[in-house]
Amino acid sequence: MKQQNSSCKVRRKRERGHAVLEAAFLAPWIIFLFVGAFDMGFYAYALICTENAARIATMYTSGSTSTWTDSTTACSIALGEMGSMRNLAGVTTCNALPLVVTLASATGPDGSSASQVTVRYQSDQLIPIPGVLMGRLTVTRVAQMRLRS
């Protein structure tokens, strides 16, 4: 009976430190995964904000034939929708990156006149992961809506 206890004690002594060693080996991978998930969250938020900005600006410009050329108000609407983005804090115009808003007339799928708004946004420099995320993401979203008379 005493031999079994002493062999268990010897085995436990040999196994000490394994958890610390395993954690040390896995820590870089865990940090890498956390940073990747963090970056992807910011990129997904940028995609959603850009899509919403294009949609809302298109809703305004399709209101009538007099508003479909109002790029100043469409820019203000897009900036208001994307106001939570860090790199747009001091931006007041929409004709250069990080935010470009362009308006165009289009023909809808039913052959009627439509308003088309393109919003292009370049994200802030985040943590680049070579081969996966390069640090900046440029998102372009186009929304089209039939002109209301």
> pTM value?
0.79
Query: Does the pLDDT value for residue 1 go beyond 60?
Result: no
Sign of the torsion angle spanned by Cα atoms 24, 132, 122, 144: negative
- 47 three-state secondary structure: helix
Tell me the per-residue pLDDT of 89-134, one tens digit each, with 9 for 90 and over.
999 999 999 999 999 999 988 999 999 999 999 998 777 767 766 7
Q: What gap in Å lies between CA 118 and CA 130, rounded to an integer?
A: 29
Q: If pLDDT is split at 50, 70 and 90, which confidence band does 9 have?
A: low
Is there a contact between 124 and 85 (Cβ–Cβ < 8 Å)? yes
What are 17's two structure tokens? 């430190």
DSSP, res 126:
-
| Residue where the block lists tokens 């969250």 | 41
Query: Does the pLDDT value for residue 17 go beyond 60?
Result: yes
Residues 6+ apart with CB under 8 A from 53: 77, 78, 81, 82, 101, 119, 121, 141
Name residue 49's amino acid. C
Tell me the per-residue pLDDT of 42-81, one tens digit each, with 9 for 90 and over.
889 999 999 999 999 999 999 988 898 899 999 999 999 9
Query: Does the pLDDT value for residue 2 go beyond 60?
Result: no
CB atoms within 10 A of CB 78: 26
